[in-house]
A = this chain, B = another copy of it.
Amino acid sequence: MQRKAINPSFLPAPTAAFNRAFEVDFGDMVWLSISGTASVGTECQTLHVGDFKKQVTQTYSNIKGILLEHGYAVEDVVKWRVYLKDITKYYDEFNACRDSFFAENGISREKVGASVCVEAKICREELLVEIEAEALRKK
């Protein structure tokens, strides 16, 4: 069993003690646990302040980037955990954005995995969504 910290090329490594993702290699398969990911850019600055839809799209783009850069496909994710800053306001819009993301990636619903979505405030006031993911694939 090998372990490896994963910090993608397009985001700075966290300044605090954690990694953007962490991989466990079981020999015949690998498991990637992706940290809470939000709408941030190459300098870790918040992108799309005030625009929920663009924040969701950016968040998925960051997660997809982590996955692809390390040999995973989006459909290798088996569990998604979503935190919305205001679930009353954004839940329907989130579902529309989520549907668009998977449709644009050619992933039909039965390949999306399991999910949970609840309301939670995120580490920066202006962040409206944060998503974590667990992926598994054969080597």
Contact = CB atoms under 8 A, between A and B. Distances in A.
A81 interface: yes
Interface string A11-39: 00111111111101010010001111000
A16 B99 contact: yes
B121 A118 contact: yes
Contacts of A103: 17
Contact of A78 (B20, B22, B29): B22
Contacts of A79: 22, 33
Contact of A3 (B83, B87, B109, B111): B111
A125 B87 CA distance: 9
Contacts of A17: 95, 98-99, 101-103, 107, 109, 112
A118 B120 contact: yes
A1 B34 CA distance: 20
A42 interface: no
In order of increasing CB-CB distance, the 4 nearest A-B pairs are A36-B116, A18-B115, A119-B121, A118-B120
